[in-house]
Amino acid sequence: MFLLLACSPAFSADQASKSTFLSGIHKKNQISCADCHGKSLAVNDSETALNKNCVECHGTLEKLASKSKEHINPHNSHLGEVNCTTCHKGHGPSKAYCNYCHSFGMKIPAMGSAEQSNDKKWTQETSQKKSKKEKMKTESADVVVIGAGGAGYVASITAHDAGAKVILLEKMPITGGNSMLAAGGINAAATRFQKARSIQDDPAEMVKETMKGGREKNDPELVKVLAYRSSDAVDFLASLGADMTDLVRSGGVHADRTHRPVGGAAVGPHLVKVYRENAAKRKIDVRVNSEVVKILSDNNGTVTGVQVKGKHSGLYTIKAKAVIDTAGGFAANNELVGFYKPQFKETASSNQPGATGEGVVLAEKIGAKVIDMEQIQIHPTMGGETKVLISETVRGSGAILVNHAGKRFVNELTTRDKASAAIFEQPDKSAFLILGEDIRKSNVQIDGYIVLGLVQESDSIEGLASKMGVPAAALAATVDSYNKAFDAKNDPEFKRQDIPRKIAGPKYYSIWVKPGRHHTMGGVKINTEAQVISTKGTPVVGLYAAGEVTGGVHGWNRLGGNAITDTVVFGRIAGANAAKFIKQHTVKKP
């Protein structure tokens, strides 16, 4: 969908040259509207041509990144290959996307000033003009997927490979959703990677532990599908080119089941890169800045498509025989969280800014049943006062949790609900992770936390204790007794089953942590075929859902590492079934 942009009466070249935004800066440098927008001055919602022109003039992200010696480099971030226009705006204030989650105080050119009102007026005039004059456009696809996070990509790739024409829509300026931020890995039982390391595991154990972790409130049929198809899910990822060869243990399980890239790199950025490449290779139509505002259905309640609000194209319709809702959860939505769990409203969220729950509302409006909405997961370890998640894999790699008295207070690998509750009981409702050199080396993400300034280090436990402000003798005794538990393979005090490494020098590290909102377990009810279930208890015909937008898989508490499994297992089922459904309902011409 294209909208003709102006150097027009609505926004003249003269106005552009006065603007303090990039349009003005470009004009002053004799760069015309057409130089950025192309001859036709058309701009699609994904801003494809604009971004191509940015790269032609300024270079690729990689080239721009190489010009900076800074550790924190906005052109080389965990968000991967993103559009330049994600941060740099021609006709509005530019803003570094990093600043939504981090507080780097990152400066960006053309942050805008007094001319802002002019540009705002122009944007409003243009969209009003369009809405009055133009008839709403209609396109068609076999399958529309709402939300380009992990589940959305997996569903799109699967539906495409089964022969469907797919359009994948993302309301945010970048794809990846919460999957992009996933630090830990993907849980899967009895995989070839586990077998290669002689790790004994079994889907039946995964079912048992997932149910126990979810306080037996999960839908047991969904959990069976999750566990018994988890090994296939890892093979599917490997077939796309992902590296899931490293293994670590997450909370609440008896085996090293969390698969991740070698060296312990964060799983999310790696997977999203693989997904983006696979979607591009297949020429799947992926559109950012494209928000679904309505799921359309006929008089019988059968889904017929979606209405989309494009950043530039405004409202339009895509007719489709099947719609897959993979729009994610709502842990970034303060209002919705406050509504369901007022006590969590002020808690920091680890989620990307787009995790605001519209997918649940869209489905509910056409009759979907919604369950467990008040079940909001608090992750025990977010970095102090930040929105940065300190991965559970840090504890899985051997780190311990201590309180302000320098003492352990919980089995670090218990389930998240219990670990968070234990931290909330400590003075200041916060704690410290303590680790040594081997643990740091085993998990490359810790180096990232060091770069972010979240880690304190010292050559001795006593030195570390003094930096943390905790009693040195108590911390030294805690570390000593933990190391003895490692030697004895027995942790009498907290019954931690897996102690993979000692806490040993030459350097010792601590990270101050507080619990924060991480995952919403509730959402749209689905069955084992990933069909959305209505309030009447029957499937909403043509509507499928997968990932965090759904409820039931994780019960009242999700196990670390099960979210990616959910997105891959149910994303695949949704994609395959949507493609099958459209084939069954496509009338062949004689």
Positions that interact with ligand MEZ (CB under 6 A): 183-184, 250, 389, 391-393, 560-561, 563
Identify which of residues 160 and 416 has a Cβ nearer to ligand MEZ in the complex: 416
For residue 282, the minimal CB distance to ligand MEZ (Å) is 27
Query: Which neighbouring-strand residues pair with 287?
Result: 169
User: Would residue 416 show up in a list of annotated catalytic residues for this protein?
Assistant: yes
For residue 485, the minimal CB distance to ligand MEZ (Å) is 23
Check: CB of residue 30 under 8 Å from CB of residue 146: no
Structure tokens, 43: 């701009």
Cα distance between residue 129 and residue 10, in whole Å: 10
| 502, amino acid identity | K
Q: Which residues of 8-43 are buried (b: 16+ CB within 10 A; e: fewer)?
A: eebbeeebbeebbbbbbbbbeeebebeebbbeebeb
| Edge-to-edge strands, sheet with 246-248 | 186-187, 258-260, 246-248
For residue 562, the minimal CB distance to ligand MEZ (Å) is 6
Cα distance between residue 252 and residue 209, in whole Å: 7
Q: Phi, psi at residue 273, to the nearest 5°?
A: -60, -45
Identify which of residues 218 and 393 has a Cβ nearer to ligand MEZ in the complex: 393
The answer to whether the Cα torsion of 215, 221, 227, 233 is positive or negative is: negative
For residue 221, the minimal CB distance to ligand MEZ (Å) is 22
For residue 180, the minimal CB distance to ligand MEZ (Å) is 13
Residue 41 gets the label, from left (phi > 0), alpha (psi -120 to 50) or beta, of left
Identify which of residues 112 and 561 has a Cβ nearer to ligand MEZ in the complex: 561
Identify which of residues 372 and 392 has a Cβ nearer to ligand MEZ in the complex: 392
Q: Where are the alpha helices (DSSP H) in 229-347?
A: 230-240, 267-281, 334-340
Identify which of residues 383 and 561 has a Cβ nearer to ligand MEZ in the complex: 561
For residue 29, the minimal CB distance to ligand MEZ (Å) is 45
Query: Which neighbouring-strand residues pair with 379?
Result: 516
Cα distance between residue 291 and residue 206, in whole Å: 36
Helix axes 472-488, 461-468, angle to 10 degrees: 130
Check: CB of residue 249 under 8 Å from CB of residue 255: yes
Q: Phi, psi at residue 168, to the nearest 5°?
A: -105, 120
Structure tokens, 4: 């003709």
Q: Phi, psi at residue 99, to the nearest 5°?
A: -70, -10
Cα distance between residue 351 and residue 101, in whole Å: 8
For residue 424, the minimal CB distance to ligand MEZ (Å) is 17
Identify which of residues 186 and 318 has a Cβ nearer to ligand MEZ in the complex: 186
For residue 565, the minimal CB distance to ligand MEZ (Å) is 9
Cα distance between residue 225 and residue 347, in whole Å: 33
Query: Which neighbouring-strand residues pair with 187?
Result: 258
Report residue 472 CA to chain centroid gap. 39
Q: How many CB atoms lie within 10 A of CB 169?
A: 26
CA angle 183, 184, 190 (to 5 degrees): 150
Cα distance between residue 349 and residue 293, in whole Å: 25
For residue 218, the minimal CB distance to ligand MEZ (Å) is 15
Identify which of residues 257 and 276 has a Cβ nearer to ligand MEZ in the complex: 257
Q: Of the residues 408, 416, 496, 517, which is catalytic?
A: 416
Residue 2 gets the label, from left (phi > 0), alpha (psi -120 to 50) or beta, of beta
Residue in the shown chain whose Cβ atom is closest to ligand MEZ: 184
Q: How many CB atoms lie within 10 A of CB 473?
A: 11
Q: Any idea which residues carry the catalytic annotation? A: 416
